[in-house]
Amino acid sequence: MHFTRMGSYEHAEIPIIARGDGAYVWDTNGKRYLDALSSLFCVNIGYGRTELGEAAAKQIEELAFYTNWSYAHPRAIELATRIAELTPGNLNRVFFTSGGAEAVEAAWKLAKSYFKMRGEGQRTKVISRKLAYHGTTMGALSITGVPALRETFEPLTPGAIHVPNTNAYRQPDDIDPLWAADAIEEAIEFAGPETVAAVFLEPVQNSGGCFVPPDGYFQRVREICDRHGVLLVSDEVICSWGRLGEMFGCQHFGYVPDMITTAKGITSAYVPMGALIAGDHIAEPFQHGVNTFAHGITFGGHPVAAAVAMANIDILEHEDLCSHVRTNEAAFRDMLEGLRDLPIVGDVRGAGYFQAIELVKDKETKETFTAPEAEWLLRRYLSNELFSRGLICRADDRGDPVIQLAPPLIVGREQFDEIESILRPVLTGASDRIGDLASLTAAA
Ligand SMILES: Cc1ncc(COP(=O)(O)O)c(C=O)c1O
């Protein structure tokens, strides 16, 4: 299993999720769970939408598969056209992949290839943020800034530089709010601007717990990239398709990148698909003579995935799920803010239907937990308690301990109340145990 301590299941049952409907899933024992993580930020329209199955069946009957290598087929063309209509600026060129890491790999390769064609072949390096997750294939892993995921696989693809993220929880009040954007310029200047190809940023950084950018951050980064001729890549594998209340996360923060990488919600994960969306100016050098973007993936733009993506976008549009998120995000956030009375709740942050709670040992000093304490709290206590009470969310320790919530975009007050009714007693139980953590971790 992926990213799983298999030993945990030596003497315990593996949870087997067998069925889904709306925002809920059921395991093989018939137990129901509220999926407040949309199965890894994927199932944006919720489970059980038969329209997507019908679209897949129709497409299989018409044309099950045909390659995109030197050929095209109607669904990929229609989907690419529709995506181009939804994106801001001149982001009109779509290169399909099978998932998110492949889209990130493709973006780095396209950036390198683009600069080579323009006679700037020395521009190969990329900049991303510490703790950010951009996928696990070797190039994407190099861009990923989570040390624990990188260590085992060093040496990685050379040329990735990591800069500070926008976690503001422990920042002094008088700090320049745009210091983290300026750190990107410092890194570009230090590396040599003529050697830097691209900056990869998520609109809201997932890993570490939904770090939102301060006002003006992306506008400053855009200026910095333009000043140094560096491309800005918005990695929206999570933050697109309504997650932040807009089709694309960059629209939420009002910036236009040179490329967008997306996956997950593009089909609401009913079938695998990802995409790299590039500006016309990036695609232009490849349109002439023998010039080629020497990159491809067999299943990129698979017709069945393209048909399912179209049906998914139909639902997002017809049910106006972006507006639904914008209308309801305050109620979602208020519910989470209401948990701040608990001693363990240090911070609540995020945007749209993508929120996190940071857990702390001491609210006054913002002291976090030691590694053994976090291990006990997240893996022994919280994950088990939440799951056994029927709530799926993410208890994450890639940075300081957080609980992340990213429910399907269809949910409203009823599900917010349900989340609260489980989170509150479980976090109260965790708060009650803070004083005993030393003995609990020793006994574990
Ligand atoms: C921002 C971001 N980029 C890339 C990826 C990698 O996507 P995939 O797991 O589909 O390869 C993820 C996965 O969660 C992600 O969140």
Q: DSSP per residue over 300-337, as a string?
A: TT-HHHHHHHHHHHHHHHHTTHHHHHHHHHHHHHHHHH
| Alpha carbons 63 and 55: distance in angstroms, whole number | 12
For residue 336, is it within any domain?
A: yes
Per-residue pLDDT at 420: 98
Instruction: Decide which of 265, 292, 318 is a domain's last residue.
Output: 318
412 alpha carbon to ligand 1 midpoint, in Å? Answer: 26
For residue 24, is it within any domain?
A: yes
Q: Which helix (H) or strand (E) holds 151?
A: none
Helix/strand/coil for 232: strand
For residue 390, is it within any domain?
A: yes
CATH number assigned to the domain comprising residue 261: 3.40.640.10
Q: Is the CB of 224 under 6 A from ligand 1?
A: no
CB-facing half-sphere around the CA of 226: CA atoms within 13 A: 9
Answer yes or no: do 407 and 435 share one domain.
Answer: yes
Helix/strand/coil for 106: helix
325 alpha carbon to ligand 1 midpoint, in Å? Answer: 22
Q: Is the CB of 302 under 6 A from ligand 1?
A: no
Per-residue pLDDT at 442: 74
443 alpha carbon to ligand 1 midpoint, in Å? Answer: 36
* DSSP structural state of residue 367: B
Per-residue pLDDT at 434: 86
Is residue 232 within 8 Å of residue 222, measured between CB atoms?
A: yes
| Alpha carbons 427 and 431: distance in angstroms, whole number | 6
Which structural domain, as residue segments, surrounds residue 397? 6-48+320-443
Q: Is the CB of 237 under 6 A from ligand 1?
A: yes
For residue 1, is it within any domain?
A: no
Q: Tens place of pLDDT for every residue, the chain, 444 residues? A: 999 989 889 988 899 999 999 999 999 999 999 999 999 999 999 999 999 999 999 999 999 999 999 999 999 999 999 999 999 999 999 999 999 999 999 999 999 999 999 999 999 999 999 999 999 999 999 999 999 999 999 999 999 999 999 999 999 999 999 999 999 999 999 999 999 999 999 999 999 999 999 999 999 999 999 999 999 999 999 999 999 999 999 999 999 999 999 999 999 999 999 999 999 999 999 999 999 999 999 999 999 999 999 999 999 999 999 999 999 999 999 999 999 999 999 999 999 999 999 999 999 999 999 999 999 999 889 999 999 999 999 998 888 999 999 999 999 999 999 999 999 999 999 999 888 877 778 776
Is residue 233 within 8 Å of residue 200, measured between CB atoms?
A: yes
Total domains in the fold of the chain: 2
pTM for this prediction: 0.98
Answer yes or no: do 92 and 197 share one domain.
Answer: yes
Answer yes or no: do 157 and 295 share one domain.
Answer: yes
Q: Is the CB of 238 under 6 A from ligand 1?
A: yes
Answer yes or no: do 187 and 54 share one domain.
Answer: yes
Answer yes or no: do 362 and 343 share one domain.
Answer: yes
Answer yes or no: do 392 and 245 share one domain.
Answer: no
Q: Is the CB of 105 under 6 A from ligand 1?
A: no
Answer yes or no: do 227 and 287 share one domain.
Answer: yes
437 alpha carbon to ligand 1 midpoint, in Å? Answer: 33
Per-residue pLDDT at 444: 66
Instruction: Decide which of 283, 318, 353 is a domain's last residue.
Output: 318
Q: Is the CB of 133 under 6 A from ligand 1?
A: yes
For residue 225, is it within any domain?
A: yes
Answer yes or no: do 278 and 410 share one domain.
Answer: no
CATH number assigned to the domain comprising residue 337: 3.90.1150.10
178 alpha carbon to ligand 1 midpoint, in Å? Answer: 26
Answer yes or no: do 169 and 56 share one domain.
Answer: yes
For residue 387, is it within any domain?
A: yes
Per-residue pLDDT at 437: 79
Q: Whose CA is nearest to atom 10 of ligand 1?
A: 100
| Ligand 1 atom with the shortest distance to the CA of 261 | 3
Residue owning tokens 């954007």? 181
CB atoms within 10 A of CB 420: 14
Q: Is the CB of 396 under 6 A from ligand 1?
A: no
| Ligand 1 atom with the shortest distance to the CA of 274 | 10
Q: Is the CB of 107 under 6 A from ligand 1?
A: no
| Ligand 1 atom with the shortest distance to the CA of 104 | 4
| Alpha carbons 81 and 75: distance in angstroms, whole number | 10
Pocket probe for ligand 1: among 2, 96, 134, the residue whose CB has the most ligand atoms within 8 Å is: 134
Order of strands, sheet of 354-359, starting from the edge strand that comes earlier in the sequence: 345-351, 354-359, 402-405, 394-396
For residue 11, is it within any domain?
A: yes
Q: Is the CB of 272 under 6 A from ligand 1?
A: no
Q: Is the CB of 235 under 6 A from ligand 1?
A: yes
Pick from 345, 347, 346, 351: nearest CA to 333? 351
For residue 280, is it within any domain?
A: yes
Instruction: Decide which of 270, 296, 318 is a domain's last residue.
Output: 318
Answer yes or no: do 300 and 429 share one domain.
Answer: no
Answer yes or no: do 280 and 396 share one domain.
Answer: no
Answer yes or no: do 108 and 257 share one domain.
Answer: yes
Per-residue pLDDT at 441: 80
